[in-house]
A = this chain, B = another copy of it.
Amino acid sequence: MTYVAPLKDMLFVMNELAGLKQINALPGCEDATPETVEAILEENAKFCGEVIAPLNFPGDREPSFWHDGQVTTAKGFREAFKAFGEAGWQGVQHPVEFGGQGLPKLVATPCIEMLNAANLSFALCPLLTDGAIEALMTAGSGEQKQTYLENLISGKWTGTMNLTEPQAGSDLSLVRTRAVPQGDGTFKLFGTKIYITYGEHDMAENIVHLVLARTPNAPEGVKGISLFIVPKFLINGDGSLGERNDVHCVSIEHKLGIKASPTAVLQFGDHGGAIGTLVGEENRGLEYMFIMMNAARFAVGMQGIAVAERAYQKAVQYAKERVQSRDLSGSPGPVAIIHQPDVRRMLMAMRAQTEAARALSYVTAAASDAAHHHPDEAARKANQAFYEYMVPIVKGWSTEMSIDVASTGVQVHGGMGFIEETGAAQYYRDARILTIYEGTTAIQANDLVGRKTARDGGAVAKGIIAQIRRTEEELAAYSSGDLAAIRQHLSAASKALEQVVDFVVANVKSDVKSVFAGSVPYLKLAGVVLGGWQMARAALVARQKLDQGEGDAAFYTAKLATARFFADHFLSTAPGCRALITEGSAGVLALSEEQF
């Protein structure tokens, strides 16, 4: 049940692929020296492994529960969250001005991975709080920042995102919650919000709800949605906690997984109105929410990588311990199942996908840092565009693969995997939410097709493909062996991706349904090709280190083999996937509703 953070891989990716040194050289990132970063990661790994990870399995067996409007979180969560806040982990990426550590996103990202690998349910509370901080940083007034940020960043208070309503899930235009101005600068909110993660709990003194609602006479649809702060307890002029606000948790959901994370139904205004204040300007709520959602989407992608890593570690441990059947090439007696080729294949598939997604996400995080801190405007713009293209892929692909990886983890355990006390099944259940919340994979794919590909005529996508071509050229220096095989697959895969981008751009107006019928396959293809690209870059570095006799040879040979496996088993699927996108829509759309 233990979790040991893969620090070696994390640092390799940060240093060799994501360019930690270059990020450290940016103005505002001076503190993030490789040495400091390594020390921070080691400390975080220790905290996550020792304090948070042990709460994961018990929290699943005895989840958070609701009674009479109160939510009692799983055993140990309160104390752990207090320790988390006190150690400053909530503040890693937030401004020093409000008590944070002001470190780059590239440094916060492995910390987020570790926390989620340790305990997905626990980590959701900081994840949502990060979102609230981000939204207030972007759109909050000076007073709002003063009132809320320090307490959120210290872990004294926590934050939530209130979007969904029973009739408004993926389609936020249907939001009905009302916000009525009181003439004193405050609003009274009335409505029901569902699926509110940590919408009620006992881990912090106050809960800061960020709520989408409509003011009177607001335009219909998404253009009439505003964002409000509605704290659980009102805040007095001196910053102390005042009256209980009129927002109440009427139930929490009985879920397939992440059971220790309370998912609340919140009633706003059943007893006179929940008092809130407007964030930013009226009717721009969705825009602000999107800023926080981009960060949250990236973080959910990290959740996928995290649970995949955890499932992988558990499967490896079992495969090394479970003795069953002889070795295929002969052995005196039964051997550990890790000797069986199919168990190897499963473990390699888990490992390769996890490492590829990790590399892609860290590189994306570094782009976000460069987008914020680079002195050159063109570089900022280019990095921002890269980041924005990647977010739906990091979210969509990492989470889709995490379900597959967690399922494979169960399979490695055989019958034991199906028994809850083993723990492998929890990852299979927990992972299942990740492709759904913060926008389903289809919603990510819509974003990828619409805003990220079609809008600029595929320019950003093509720019990234050009970067892949440069990696292919570097690989061309090797005429045989793993790197040559990787190059062959990467080259076919990047061609496939380019064809899909061309298809999307050419047809999105004339044949919108066909293009969107292939949107999720496009997203998955992009994930595979871009993840495979990062593995190819990793393989190049590993080969060079080995040739130079530098560093940990076992690590670098494993990295090479894992990159080779990724190319052989995942990049190889790209051309088939291309065909189903560009030629596969006929069957998707042929049936009438009645024929289903």
Are B415 and A513 in contact, CB atoms less than 8 angstroms apart?
no
Asked whether A477 is an interface residue with its Cβ less than 8 Å from the other chain, the reply is: no
Are B587 and A568 in contact, CB atoms less than 8 angstroms apart?
yes
Asked whether A195 is an interface residue with its Cβ less than 8 Å from the other chain, the reply is: yes
Residue in B169, B253, B342, B584 whose CB lies within 8 Å of A572:
B584
* Contact residues in B for A420 (Cβ distance below 8 Å): 254-256
Are A517 and B594 in contact, CB atoms less than 8 angstroms apart?
no
Are A445 and B593 in contact, CB atoms less than 8 angstroms apart?
no
Asked whether A387 is an interface residue with its Cβ less than 8 Å from the other chain, the reply is: no
A151-159, A185-193, A406-414: which lies at the interface? A406-414
Are A174 and B584 in contact, CB atoms less than 8 angstroms apart?
no
Between A254, A417, A567, A568, the greatest number of chain B beta carbons within 10 A of the residue's beta carbon is seen for: A568
Are A591 and B348 in contact, CB atoms less than 8 angstroms apart?
yes
* Contact residues in B for A567 (Cβ distance below 8 Å): 587
* Contact residues in B for A325 (Cβ distance below 8 Å): 170-171, 173
The number of chain A residues with a CB under 8 A from chain B is 105
Are B558 and A591 in contact, CB atoms less than 8 angstroms apart?
yes
- Return the chain B residue nearest A194 by Cβ: B415
A559–chain B nearest beta-carbon distance, Å: 10
Asked whether A290 is an interface residue with its Cβ less than 8 Å from the other chain, the reply is: no
- Please measure, in the bound complex, the distance between the C-alpha atom of A560 and the C-alpha atom of B195, giving whole angstroms: 40
Known: A407-B432, A414-B436. A341 touches B589 (CB 8 A): yes
A296–chain B nearest beta-carbon distance, Å: 15
Are A517 and B418 in contact, CB atoms less than 8 angstroms apart?
no
B-contacting residues, A555-596, CB 8 Å: 557-558, 560-569, 572-577, 579-580, 583-596
Known: A343-B442, A415-B436, A584-B569. A328 touches B516 (CB 8 A): yes
- Please measure, in the bound complex, the distance between the C-alpha atom of A428 and the C-alpha atom of B579, giving whole angstroms: 29
A568–chain B nearest beta-carbon distance, Å: 4
- Please measure, in the bound complex, the distance between the C-alpha atom of A325 and the C-alpha atom of B316, giving whole angstroms: 44
Asked whether A478 is an interface residue with its Cβ less than 8 Å from the other chain, the reply is: no
Asked whether A149 is an interface residue with its Cβ less than 8 Å from the other chain, the reply is: no
- Please measure, in the bound complex, the distance between the C-alpha atom of A151 and the C-alpha atom of B572, giving whole angstroms: 55
* Contact residues in B for A563 (Cβ distance below 8 Å): 587
Are A564 and B590 in contact, CB atoms less than 8 angstroms apart?
yes
A554–chain B nearest beta-carbon distance, Å: 6
* Contact residues in B for A514 (Cβ distance below 8 Å): 341
Asked whether A150 is an interface residue with its Cβ less than 8 Å from the other chain, the reply is: no
Are A440 and B411 in contact, CB atoms less than 8 angstroms apart?
yes
Between A433, A513, A567, A587, the greatest number of chain B beta carbons within 10 A of the residue's beta carbon is seen for: A587
- Return the chain B residue nearest A489 by Cβ: B579
B-contacting residues, A442-498, CB 8 Å: 442, 445, 482, 485
* Contact residues in B for A433 (Cβ distance below 8 Å): 418
Asked whether A15 is an interface residue with its Cβ less than 8 Å from the other chain, the reply is: no
- Please measure, in the bound complex, the distance between the C-alpha atom of A148 and the C-alpha atom of B146, giving whole angstroms: 80
Are B520 and A342 in contact, CB atoms less than 8 angstroms apart?
yes
* Contact residues in B for A557 (Cβ distance below 8 Å): 590, 595
B-contacting residues, A387-427, CB 8 Å: 403, 407, 410-411, 414-415, 417-421, 425
- Please measure, in the bound complex, the distance between the C-alpha atom of A564 and the C-alpha atom of B517, giving whole angstroms: 15
A419–chain B nearest beta-carbon distance, Å: 5
Asked whether A345 is an interface residue with its Cβ less than 8 Å from the other chain, the reply is: yes
Are A171 and B589 in contact, CB atoms less than 8 angstroms apart?
no
Residue in B432, B521, B572 whose CB lies within 8 Å of A428:
B432
Known: A433-B418, A561-B587, A588-B348. A342 touches B517 (CB 8 A): yes
Residue in B169, B328, B418, B437 whose CB lies within 8 Å of A257:
B418
Asked whether A331 is an interface residue with its Cβ less than 8 Å from the other chain, the reply is: no
Asked whether A429 is an interface residue with its Cβ less than 8 Å from the other chain, the reply is: yes
Asked whether A364 is an interface residue with its Cβ less than 8 Å from the other chain, the reply is: no
* Contact residues in B for A585 (Cβ distance below 8 Å): 341
Known: A554-B595, A584-B568. A414 touches B344 (CB 8 A): no
- Please measure, in the bound complex, the distance between the C-alpha atom of A440 and the C-alpha atom of B595, giving whole angstroms: 35
- Please measure, in the bound complex, the distance between the C-alpha atom of A341 and the C-alpha atom of B507, giving whole angstroms: 15
Asked whether A329 is an interface residue with its Cβ less than 8 Å from the other chain, the reply is: yes
Asked whether A300 is an interface residue with its Cβ less than 8 Å from the other chain, the reply is: no
Are A255 and B485 in contact, CB atoms less than 8 angstroms apart?
no
Are A256 and B418 in contact, CB atoms less than 8 angstroms apart?
yes
A109–chain B nearest beta-carbon distance, Å: 24
Binding site for B on A (CB under 8 A): 164, 167, 169-171, 173-174, 194-195, 253-257, 316, 319-320, 323-325, 328-329, 334, 336, 338-345, 347-348, 351-352, 403, 407, 410-411, 414-415, 417-421, 425, 428-429, 432-433, 435-437, 440-442, 445, 482, 485, 512-514, 516-521, 554, 557-558, 560-569, 572-577, 579-580, 583-596
Could you list some 17 contacts between A and B, CB below 8 A? A254-B419, A255-B419, A328-B516, A329-B512, A342-B516, A342-B517, A344-B589, A347-B596, A348-B588, A352-B587, A415-B437, A554-B595, A558-B595, A564-B586, A568-B584, A569-B584, A573-B576
| Shortest beta-carbon contacts, A-B, top 3 | A565-B587, A561-B590, A568-B584
A338-B593, A341-B589 are known; give 16 further A-B pairs, CB within 8 A.
Answer: A169-B414, A173-B325, A255-B420, A341-B514, A344-B517, A410-B436, A561-B586, A564-B586, A565-B587, A566-B587, A567-B587, A568-B584, A568-B587, A569-B587, A573-B576, A573-B580
